[in-house]
Amino acid sequence: MNVNIVVLAGDGIGPEVTAEAVKVLNAVAGNFGHSFTFDAQLMGGCAIDATGSSLPDATVAACRAADAVLLGAVGGPKWDNPQAADRPERGLLAIRKELNLFANLRPVKLQPQLIDASTLKREVLEGVDLLVIRELTGGAYFGPRKEAGPDGDEAYDTMLYTREEIRRVVKLAAEAAVLRRGKLASVDKANVLASSRLWRRVATEVLAEYPALHVEHVLVDAMAMHLIRRPATFDVIVAENLFGDILTDEASMLAGSMGMLPSASLGDQLNAHHLPRGMYEPIHGSAPDIAGKSIANPLGTILSAAMLLRHSLGLETEAAAIETAVERVLDDGVRTGDIAQPGMETVGTVIMGDLVVAKLR
Ligand code: NAD
Domains of the chain: 1-102+268-361 (3.40.718.10), 118-255 (3.40.718.10)
* Cα separation values, 9 from 61, 78, 131, 280, Å: 17, 17, 25, 11
CA atoms within 13 A on the CB side of 225: 4
Q: What share of the chain is helix, strand, coil (3-state, %, to 5)?
A: 45, 20, 35
Query: What mean pLDDT do residues 27-33 have?
Result: 97
* Plot region of 347 (φ>0 → left; ψ -120 to 50 → alpha; else → beta): beta
- The CA distance from 16 to 18, in Å, is 6
- Whether 287 is in the pocket of ligand 1, judged by its Cβ within 6 Å, is yes
The number of the ligand 1 atom at minimal distance from the alpha carbon of 281 is 41
Task: Strand 279-282: give its sheet, edge to edge.
Answer: 35-40, 2-10, 68-73, 279-282, 262-266, 103-109, 129-135, 236-239, 183-188, 214-219
**Minimal CA–CA distance to 218: which of 243, 241, 242?**
243
- The CA distance from 40 to 59, in Å, is 9
**Which secondary structure element, helix H or strand E, spans residue 313, and what is its range?**
helix 299-313
* Cα separation values, 226 from 104, 183, 200, 232, 333, Å: 21, 15, 19, 10, 31
- Whether 8 is in the pocket of ligand 1, judged by its Cβ within 6 Å, is no
pLDDT band at 27 (very low <50, low <70, confident <90, very high): very high
pLDDT band at 256 (very low <50, low <70, confident <90, very high): confident
- Residue from 286, 302, 326, 336 whose mutation best tests the ligand 1 pocket (most atoms within 8 A of CB): 286
pLDDT in tens, 219-234: 999 999 999 999 999 9
Catalytic residue positions?
141, 189, 221, 245, 249
The number of the ligand 1 atom at minimal distance from the alpha carbon of 44 is 40
Measured by CA distance, the residue closest to atom 8 of ligand 1 is 287
**Minimal CA–CA distance to 308: which of 3, 17, 97?**
3
E-state strands within the chain: 2-10, 35-40, 68-73, 103-109, 129-135, 145-146, 156-157, 183-188, 214-219, 236-239, 262-266, 279-282
Buried b (16+ CB within 10 A) or exposed e, 139-166: bbbbeeeeeeeeeeeeeeeebebeeebb
pLDDT at 118 over 90: no
The number of the ligand 1 atom at minimal distance from the alpha carbon of 72 is 40
- Whether 96 is in the pocket of ligand 1, judged by its Cβ within 6 Å, is no
Residue 9 DSSP one-character state: E
More confident position, 83 or 39: 39
- Residue from 89, 258, 293, 294 whose mutation best tests the ligand 1 pocket (most atoms within 8 A of CB): 258
Query: What mean pLDDT do residues 75-91 have?
Result: 93
pLDDT in tens, 284-341: 999 999 999 999 999 999 999 999 999 999 999 999 999 999 999 999 999 999 988 8
- Whether 259 is in the pocket of ligand 1, judged by its Cβ within 6 Å, is yes
pTM metric for this prediction: 0.92
pLDDT at 153 over 90: no
